[in-house]
Amino acid sequence: MNNKYLGKSIVIFSFVATIMIVVSIVYMVSEMYLNGKDYLTWEFLTEAPTKGMTAGGIFPAIVGTVLLVILMSIACVPLGTITAIYLNEYSNKKSIITKMIRFAVNTLAGIPSIVFGLFGLGFFIQFVGSGMDNVFSEPGQIQWGQPNILWASMTMAFLTIPIVIVSVEETLKSVPDELRAGSLALGATKWQTIKKIVIPNSISGILTGAILAIGRGAGEVAPILFTGAAYFLPYTPTQLTDQFMNLGYHIYVMATQSTDVEATKGIQYATAFILLACTFFLSFIAIIIRYRFRKKINI
Amino acid sequence: MTNVNSKKTDLLLRRKFRLGEFLAENVIRSVSFVSFAIIVLIFVFVFRETSQIFYPKDSTISEQYLQSESYGDIPEEGEAQTEQYGSLLKEKVDVADIENLTGKDWQPVGEKPKYGLLPLFIGSLKVTLMAILFGAPIAIFAAIYSALFAPKKIREFIKPTIELLASFPSVVIGFFALVTLATIFQDLFGTTYRLNAFVGGFAMALAVIPIVYTITEDSLVAVPKYYSEASLALGATNWQTAFFVILPAATPGIFAALLLGFGRAFGETMIVLMATGNAPISSINPFEPVRTLSATIGAEMAEVVFGDMHYSVLFLIGSLLFIVTFLINAVAEFYVRAKLMKKFRGE
C-alpha cells in the first residue's frame, strides 16, 4: 500500500519538476515579450539609438551582431568540418594523435567563455595585433593592436569550433559504411569517396553545426567584453579594425551601466526579446534539420 | 613466369599519384591540429600574462603596454591618460605576493592595492553550490520523467523544449534575474540587498539545468534494455525498476552531469556579473551580495591598465578558472569512460 503511494508520488514529483522547467522557460520569454512589446516596431529594428541611448532603435547592434557571426562562421565552420572529417574518416581511432585532438576538443568545449575573452585580449590584441602593427603600420600608430570586430569574431570562432565538430561528426558517423565500401569498390579513391559520397551525405550536419554555432556566437557576451564590443558607436563597422555594437552587450550595458536604467527598461526588454527570438529561431531550424535527417536515415 | 605475372599485377594495382588529392589530404591532416593548437595557445597566452606577477617586466618594456582602454574614447585622449597612469604606477606599492593574494580583501585600486582572492573564491563557490542545489534535483527528476515515465509523444515534446533552455543566451538569463527575479525575491524574503548570491544562484540554476538534464537523460537511456526487462520480469513495478535498477546503473553518468554543471556554473560570467551585486564580501550568508572570480574579470578588465599588476592578477584569476574547469571536465570524462562504459559492456 505504502509502496504504491511512494511510486505514485515519485512519478508525480518527476512530472512536476519537468513542468517547472517548462513553465520557467515560458515565463521568461513572456516576461521579455510583454514588457518590451510596445517597443517592437519596425523603427526599433532599423534606427540607431538617439537621445543619449534613451530612445531610438538597435539597428547598429543588430548589424554588429550579424557581422560578428558571419566573420566567425567563415573561420569556425571550415575548421570544425575539416577536423570532424579527419577524426571520423582518416584518423586511426587508437592513435595518440587522435586522442590528443579529441581531448583538445572536449577541453575546448568546457573552457569558460570569459577565459576565451582573456585569451583574445592576450593573444589576438596584445600579440598578433601588436605584431601586425610593428610590421604594417607606421611607427606609433595603433591599428590592429586594439579591440576590433576581427579579433572579437576570431575569439568567438575558437569558442564555437567544438560545436561544429560535434555536430558534423554525428552525421558523419551515421553515413552507412556500405556507401563508403561501394564507392571504394567501384575504384574511387579515398578522397573521391569523401568528396562525392561522405560530404554530400552529411551536409545537414554541417548546416546544423553552423546554425548552432551562430546561435551560440550571437548570444555570448563574455568573450567580446574586451575584444571589440563597444557601448555606443554612431556608425556601423565597415573595416575589420572597427569596433562594433552587439545585441547581448547592448543589453548588459543598458541594464547595468546606463545613466537612466529605469527610462530604458522597455528598450532593454525589447532587445532581450529580439536576441531570444533570434537564438530560438536558429535552434528551431537546427532541430528541424536534425529531425528530417534522422527520419531520412531511419528509412 | 610467375615473376612476370606479379610485375603485371603490381603495375595494375599501383596507385596513381594525384597531386590534388595529396594536397587535400594533407590539408585535412594539418587543419585538424588546429583545435589542439588552440588549447596550447590558450594555455601559453593566458599563463604568459599571468607570469608577470612572479617575474615583473622591467619598466622599459612595460611602458609599451601602458595604453588605456579605448572603448569609445577618442584616441588623442588615450595618450594623455597613458602618461597619467604611468606616473601613478611608479608611486604605488604594487606587489602581488602570496601573502597579498591569499588575503581577505579585494581592493585592486588604491595606494596599496590588495589582491586577496579569498572573497572571490568564496563568492564563486557560493553561487555555484546554490545553482547545483536548486538546479540539479529538478533537472535529474525531469530527466527521470522524460527518460523513464513519459509517454513517447510527450517525451518528444519535452526533450527539445528543455534543451531550448540551453540556447538561452546567458546575458538574457542575467537580465531576467536582474530585473525580475531580484524584485520577486526581495518582496518574498525582505532582504536588505536587492542583488545577492541567492538571486545569482537561482538564475545560474537555469543555466545548469539543461546540462544536467541532457547528460542525465542520455545516461538513463543508455542503460541496456535487459536491465529493466529482467527487473520487470521479476515482478518489480515500473517505478521500482526506474528507481532501484536503472537509476543506480546510471549513477556515473549523473555524477558526470553534476560535475559538468558545476564547471559551467563556476565559469559562467554574465549571469553573476549582472545578478549578484558584485561586492567582494566573504560571508556564508546567501542573501549578501557576492563577487565571483569570473565576474571580477568581466567587471574590471575594461578599466585596467595593460601590463599593470592588477591586469596580471586578473589573468591569474583566468588561469585559475581555466585550471578548475579543466580538472572538472577531465575527471567527469574519465569517470564516465572508465566506469559507465565498462559497466555496460560487461567487462
pLDDT digits (tens, 9 = 90+) for B201-228: 999 999 999 999 999 999 899 888 898 8
Asked whether the beta carbons of B217 and B147 are under 8 A apart, the reply is yes
Query: In the prediction, which pLDDT does B164 show?
Result: 87
Taking the C-alpha atoms of residue B263 and residue A105, their distance in angstroms, rounded to an integer, is: 16
Nearest CB to A17 within list B39, B138, B240: B138
Contact A114 B180 (CB under 8 A): no
Q: What is the pTM of this model?
A: 0.86
Taking the C-alpha atoms of residue A188 and residue B174, their distance in angstroms, rounded to an integer, is: 54
What's the ipTM? 0.91
| Domain boundaries A40-298, CATH class | mainly alpha
| CA B62 to each of CA A214, B65, B118, B305, B308: distance values in angstroms, whole numbers, following the listed order | 38, 5, 28, 11, 8
Counting DSSP H helices and E strands in chain A, the numbers are 13, 2
Query: In the prediction, which pLDDT does A85 show?
Result: 93
A101 and chain B in contact, CB less than 8 A: yes
B334 and chain A in contact, CB less than 8 A: no
Question: With 50 as the cut, is the pLDDT of residue B133 above it?
Answer: yes
- Number of residue pairs across A and B with CB atoms under 8 Å? 272
Task: Please list every residue in chain A whose beta carbon sits closer than 8 Å to the beta carbon of residue B28.
Answer: 82, 85-86, 90
Residue B107 main-chain phi, psi, to 5 deg? -130, 80
Query: In the prediction, which pLDDT does A299 show?
Result: 54
pLDDT band of residue A1 (cuts 50, 70, 90) is very low
What is the gyration radius of the CA atoms in chain A, in angstroms? 23
Helix ranges (DSSP H) in B190-341: 197-222, 225-233, 238-241, 247-249, 251-267, 270-275, 293-300, 309-335
Say which range, A207-211, A266-270, B339-343, has the weakest mean pLDDT. B339-343
Task: Please list every residue in chain A whose beta carbon sits closer than 8 Å to the beta carbon of residue B267.
Answer: 111-115
Q: Which of residues 194-223 of A touch B (CB under 8 A)?
A: 195, 215-216, 218-222
Contact A272 B268 (CB under 8 A): no
Query: In the prediction, which pLDDT does B65 show?
Result: 45
- Total number of residues shown for chain A: 299
Asked whether the beta carbons of B211 and B266 are under 8 A apart, the reply is no
Residue B21: burial class (beta carbons within 10 Å; 0-12, 13-18, 19+): middle
Segments making up each domain of chain A, as ranges: 40-298
Domains and CATH numbers, chain B: 118-345 (1.10.3720.10)
Closest by CA position to B275, among listed B188, B206, B345, B346: B206
Closest by CA position to B66, among listed B312, B301, B302, B305: B305
Question: With 80 as the cut, is the pLDDT of residue A52 above it?
Answer: no
Question: With 60 as the cut, is the pLDDT of residue B59 above it?
Answer: no
pLDDT band of residue B87 (cuts 50, 70, 90) is very low
A33 and chain B in contact, CB less than 8 A: no
Taking the C-alpha atoms of residue A76 and residue A83, their distance in angstroms, rounded to an integer, is: 10
